[in-house]
Amino acid sequence: MGALNGQAGAAHGDLIPEFCRVVAEAQPAWFLMENVKAATLPVVDGYIVRHVLLDNRWVGGEQKRVRRFSFGTPDGRELVPEVVALEPLRAVPTVVAGHGAAPSQRDRGFDYSLEDMCEWQGLPRDFAAELPFTRHGKRKVIGNAVPLPLGRAVARAVALNSA
């Protein structure tokens, strides 16, 4: 822990500069960072970083969830995930950390079970049952996670580009 910046993340600070510092020191062959659309873009000396916005529905997931993936390599390879031709017919609520549903959904009286949250993230309905967290902690872990279909699509793209 001593090598970490003690001030990183203080009062919800921007941890992206700390991420960039760690990448610059470690010098991996490539790196991948996931975040919300509005997050600061990573800049690391020696790497060309390509960014792609992906919606979980574009890769077959039922939940609308747009995330930015930043893929950095010394030679500037692009991350090109495969997308589906048509989005799924069923659309489920967007899962967010701590509450189960996005604020606009909560305002309309919706509050979803942990089982629903797991299913909408692409996980088994009982996924949270054995997690060693409080109910609120489980909701945060599930809500902060990248939906499984989106994670799998990005992992396949990384495997193709980093070989």
Segment 67-88 shows an average pLDDT of 95
Contact 60, 154 (CB under 8 A): no
**Residue 1 pLDDT exceeds 70:** no
Question: Computed from CA positions of residues 133, 40, 150, 95, in that sequence, does the dihedral angle turn out positive or negative?
Answer: positive
Segment 21-29 shows an average pLDDT of 97
Segment 52-61 shows an average pLDDT of 96
* pLDDT tens per residue, range 83-111: 999 999 999 988 887 655 555 555 555 57
Segment 20-38 shows an average pLDDT of 96
3-state secondary structure string across the chain: CCCCCCCCCHHHCCCHHHHHHHHHHHCCCCEEEEECCCCCCCCCCCCEEEEEEEEHHHHCCCECCEEEEEEEECCCCCCCCCCCCCCCCCCECCCCCCCCCCHHHHHCCCCCCHHHHHHHCCCCCCCCCCCCCCHHHHHHHHHHCCCHHHHHHHHHHHHHHCC
In DSSP terms, 53 is beta-bridged to 68
Q: What is the pLDDT of residue 96?
A: 82
Q: What is the pLDDT of residue 2?
A: 39
Average pLDDT, the chain: 87
Question: How confident is residue 9, by pLDDT bands cut at 50, 70 and 90?
Answer: very low
For residues 34 and 32, give the distance between their C-alpha atoms in angstroms, rounded to a whole number. Answer: 7
